Chains A and B, each alone.
Chain A
Amino acid sequence: MAGLTDITRSTVGKKLLNGLTGLLLCGFIVSHLTGNLLLLVGREAFNQYAYFLHSLGHGAVVPIMEVGLVMLFGAHAISGISVARSRRRARPDGYKKSANAGGTSRKSLASRSMIVTGTVLLIFVILHVAQFKLGWGQLRDYPDVMIDGHASVDLYSRVVDWFNWAPMVGLYVVVMLMLGNHLRHGFWSAFQTLGANNPRYENLINTAGMLFAAAMAVGFLLIPIYIFLFVEPTAGSSLAAG
């Protein structure tokens, strides 16, 4: 008889997995944005926040969360790709003329481009982690800063320097717009997928989804743009020299 393994086997199971991981990821980006907005407050606040996170549970919480996030992103991506891949198998010969039905249809640019925005976001997340967590391709070496008597990474300087480079800001703007687009369909869709949508609340969920998508996109956009416009690069960075 049926068991939890069915979740990974059937189309409905995969969709449920996709919706559930999507909602959890929404939770993650909210907390990620909240923390990162400290970049706008200043060096002290942000670096202290970074140190605080890494010191939680004697340093054990972050690695556990990271493993969890990798699994979340992985499951979300795999289930999402499987939904998209089913399309070609299920309709190998397309229509000569196609049109949108209109009416109550929720089909939109956002819903049609989930796999595109999702793929871009997946690549982005990998690069984003490499860029800021692992410090790949960073513009110079950043000496540790001391917080509460402990040495900690100067993440603030790393971010500020990257976001003083116009092409990087441009890239983030494009990707964050895609994130907004992804969430614009994804937030509502997750509720629908989990069977939590219903006629009475659909408008509410849909509006909340749009506000959420806009808030996340604007919030994340604000950081690179603000830094590019108002925060000087750190001394010693190539950008500062230039």
Chain B
Amino acid sequence: MAGNEFSVKLLIWRQSGPAQPGELASYTMDNVLPEMSLLEMLDLLNEKLTAEGIDPVAFDSDCREGICGTCGLVINGIAHGPHSGAATCEVRMRSFSDGETIVIEPFRAASFPVIKDLVVDRAAFDRIMQAGGYVSINTGSAPEANSIPVPRPHAESAMDAAACIGCAACVAACPNASASLFTSAKISQYAQLPQGRAEAKRRVVRMVDAMDEEGFGNCSNHGECEAVCPKEISIFNIGRMRREYLKAVL
């Protein structure tokens, strides 16, 4: 066991509150095991810091299996770190080598103010959803489930888009801090299902407006969002959002 242990140097963004300035602080972690997750390594760092009387590093996480979308760190300049198709909580320490320096920063965007250290406020995403990320159907008024057949390819493609976990890595990775991938994933899911067609036009215009009001940047089609997305949501959804938008305004 002990043979596998190694050390890493950490440069972690510390910022005591939303209005305070922040900076990178340096820590060393010994006894790191390859099978540890990065967040478990940070747990142990916090145990160490607490024992030393230093305020532990604030970071958020929940399910720790890549589905809830709570965690989100920029690791060595890449949102969710070096693994493709994985969230921060799925990053294992075997991705790093002995003596490596790991720079850890929060997701940065004007729309995501820092709460503390590595924790940012992503409520802007919920407000985008409120603008139209739903099918207007009251409980009890649904027709029999099999009454509307959905062709399998449509259902599968809708599911590809619906897999979004709302982690905001797309915004973090985008050079323009655009929320296009997130917003388009929901629009695209509903656009491909008969249930979502009835209010497709209203939805796309309202959600795009909400996205703009939150102050996210525009999209330059770099595709960094897709590359860091833990659920590998495709930028074709952004294309579909634009098509839907064009249909809505023409």
Contacts and interface: CB of A to CB of B under 8 A. Distances in A.
Interface of A: 1-4, 6-7, 10-16, 82-84, 86-87, 89-107, 111-112, 114, 185, 188-189, 192-199
Contact of B217 (A87, A99, A103): A87
Contacts of B209: 10
A195 to B, nearest CB: 3
Contacts of B84: 101-103
Interface in B28-54: none
A119 to B, nearest CB: 15
B215 A89 contact: yes
Interface of B: 11, 13, 24, 74, 76-79, 84, 103, 105, 108-111, 173, 175-178, 180, 201-202, 205, 208-209, 211-212, 215-224, 226-228, 232, 234-236, 238-246, 248-250
Contact of A11 (B103, B211, B223, B240): B211
A106 B211 contact: no
A83 B77 CA distance: 23
A196 B202 CA distance: 22
Closest 9 CB pairs of A and B: A195-B243, A99-B77, A90-B217, A90-B177, A106-B223, A101-B227, A105-B227, A107-B222, A86-B217
26 contacts: A7-B249, A10-B212, A11-B178, A11-B216, A13-B245, A82-B218, A83-B176, A86-B176, A87-B218, A89-B215, A89-B217, A90-B109, A90-B111, A91-B109, A91-B217, A96-B103, A96-B105, A97-B77, A97-B103, A97-B105, A99-B76, A100-B224, A101-B79, A101-B173, A105-B227, A111-B220
Contacts, number: 163
A7 B77 CA distance: 34
B86 to A, nearest CB: 11
Contacts of A112: 175, 222
B221 A92 contact: no
Given A11-B208, A87-B175, A199 B236 contact: yes
Contact of B241 (A12, A98, A104): A12
Contact of A94 (B108, B201, B243, B250): B108
Contacts of A185: 221
Contact of B223 (A7, A95, A107, A195): A107
Given A84-B220, A95-B108, A193-B239, 10 more contacts: A2-B201, A10-B208, A11-B180, A91-B108, A105-B222, A189-B220, A193-B221, A195-B240, A195-B246, A197-B236
Q: Is the interface of A mostly helix, strand, loop or mixed?
A: loop
A103 B84 CA distance: 7
Contacts of A97: 76-77, 103, 105
Contact of A105 (B205, B208, B226): B226
A89 B223 contact: no
A86 B226 contact: no
B205 A90 contact: no
Contacts of A15: 218-219, 242
B249 A6 contact: yes
B245 A16 contact: yes
Nearest to B214: A90
B226 A104 contact: yes
Which interface residue of B84, B216, B223, B226 has the most chain A CB atoms within 10 A?
Answer: B223
Contacts of A14: 218
B89 to A, nearest CB: 18
Contact of A90 (B13, B78, B110, B243): B110
Given A2-B249, A90-B110, A192 B221 contact: yes
